Structures are given as structure tokens and as C-alpha cells.
Copies of this chain bind each other. A is one copy, B any other.
Amino acid sequence: MCIGLDVDLNKIPKHLLKESDPIFAFNKAIIDATHHLCVAYKPNIAFYEAYGIKGWQALEKTIKYLNDNYPEIFTIADAKRGDIGNTSTMYAKAFFEDLAFDSVTVAPYMGKDSIEPFLAFKNKHTIMLALTSNQGAFDFQTKAIDGKEVYKHVLETSKSWKHAEHLMYVVGATKAEYFADIRKIIPNSFLLVPGVGAQGGNLQDVCKYGMNANVGLLINSSRGIIYASTSENYAHAAALKAKELQSAMQKILLNR
């Protein structure tokens, strides 16, 4: 399980707004209450950039808090970046070096030379969008090139890129029936799976079609966990929601 730290000041408990850094205060409480239930945290960078310098400071504090206190936890900068080569290198430095995330999400539209600069970083993972959880995935990703969908071309083509062993892929939980085909192309890769919870994806189906011998799935929930309550007990409420999802996952893992 991965927990998405998508902090919206309009949705967090009102009493936190008195804090000097409400976003970090919220994240710290959520992390302290849930770290034993998950293996990864994923701040979506949009939610931090929307608050400018203050947001970026909260992001820096959050990743530092995670790295200092829970170094075994995998961290994902959900940034969906991608640009021409020298520019992608700058993004990679921002997330891998300056902020010291373990991984970053990237978009494939600009192709090989926009992604390889990320893959060049040792001991880091680059998580590329393949089939996303939203409705707009059907606009281009599922259209067929020579009888094969765009997202399948993305998966296949990326396997030949330099340091492809650092690649993971985003596959949305709302499209569970696609996992079987995806596993034929990338049987061993780790998948980051958003869309369980608020977006309606089904955990059982995702596991049924997407799991491999090493599990190979990192299933994310954001809003369904972190906004469980707006009371002063919000962190405890989030932990209960996280525990619920973690138990459902454990049951599947024990019965496979």
C-alpha cells in the first residue's frame, strides 16, 4: 500500500490552519499514524506548487521527515514530468537530488530521450504513465496503432531503453480488466496503481489480474485515507481507513 499525500487546504481539519505550516503539520500526523501500514508515500506535486514557496517548503519538510524518520519507506514524487533531454535532467535533479525522493512519475509523450535522463540515476526509480485511471485515458492511450493500443506501444518500446531496469509503470485500478494483457508485456515490472477508493477501482480485480510472483503491485489510495475525517482525530481516522485497506490486501496476499 502507498498513501497519497495530496494536501488541499480546503479539505484538511480547520484547526490546522492556525499552524505555521498546516500542510506539513497534516502530513506529519498522517505519516506518524499510518507508516506501519504502508510501504510508500506519494505526494502529488501539484498540491504543493499550488501554494508557491510555502507549498515547496512543506514538500521539502515532508520528504526530509520521511527520509530522517522512516528511511525504509519508498517515496514517490508524483510529478508526471517529461521534457527534452537536458531539461529532463534538471527535473531528475530536482526530485532525486535536491528533494531526495526514491522515485518520480513521468509522462511518455515525448519518447525515449525525455525519459532516459531520469533512468540514468542509480538507485532511483522512474515511474512512467502507461494506462491512467481517468476517463481521458480513452482519448489517446487506448487507441490502436497497427492493431495495438498506444499504451502497449509505450510499454513495449520502453523495455529497450537504457537502464529500463529502473522503470516502473502507472496503471489505473479503474481498468482492472487490462492488467492481464499488460502482464504479458511486462511480467516482472512493479506497477503503481492509483484509483482504488475515491476513483472507484476494485482491489480484488486489480490483484487477480495484476499480481505477479513478487506481488508487483504498489496500490495507492489518497483521498480515501487522508480525508477520512476533519475532526481533531483526523490522523486516527486516517489510520483506521488505512488499516481497512491494508487488511483487505493482507487477506488477498495470504490466500493467493
A206 to chain B, nearest CB (A): 17
Number of copies of this chain that the complex holds: 2
Contacts A83-B44, A84-B133, A134-B111 given; does A50 touch B140 at CB 8 Å: no
Give A49-102 interface residues, CB cut-off 8 Å to B: 49-53, 55-57, 60, 80-85, 87-88, 90-91, 93-94, 98-99
A48 to chain B, nearest CB (A): 9
Indicate which residue in B85, B109, B135, B199 contacts A109 across the interface (CB closer than 8 Å).
Answer: B109
B139 pairs with A111, CB closer than 8 A: yes
B145 pairs with A144, CB closer than 8 A: yes
> What CA separation (Å) do A88 and B45 show in the bound complex?
11
A50 pairs with B112, CB closer than 8 A: no
Interface string of A117-150 (1 = CB under 8 A from B): 0000000000001001111111111011110001
Total contacting residues, chain A, CB less than 8 A: 57
CB of A164 closer than 8 Å to a CB of B? no
A140 to chain B, nearest CB (A): 6
A84 pairs with B150, CB closer than 8 A: no
CB of A110 closer than 8 Å to a CB of B? yes
A123 to chain B, nearest CB (A): 19
> What CA separation (Å) do A93 and B9 show in the bound complex?
13
Indicate which residue in B55, B57, B140, B157 contacts A108 across the interface (CB closer than 8 Å).
Answer: B140
Can you name the residue of chain B whose Cβ is closest to the Cβ of A138?
B111
> What CA separation (Å) do A94 and B55 show in the bound complex?
10
A134 pairs with B150, CB closer than 8 A: no
Contacts A132-B84, A132-B110 given; does A53 touch B56 at CB 8 Å: yes
Contacts A87-B47, A107-B80 given; does A114 touch B140 at CB 8 Å: no
CB of A154 closer than 8 Å to a CB of B? yes
Can you name the residue of chain B whose Cβ is closest to the Cβ of A91?
B46
B52 pairs with A56, CB closer than 8 A: yes
Pairs A–B under 8 Å by Cβ, sample size 24: A8-B90, A44-B87, A46-B88, A46-B90, A46-B91, A46-B94, A49-B91, A50-B94, A52-B56, A52-B60, A80-B82, A80-B110, A84-B134, A84-B199, A85-B134, A108-B139, A109-B141, A111-B137, A140-B150, A140-B154, A140-B157, A143-B145, A144-B145, A150-B150
**Interchain residue pairs A-B with the least CB separation, the first 8:** A111-B136, A111-B139, A46-B90, A49-B94, A50-B90, A113-B136, A84-B134, A50-B94
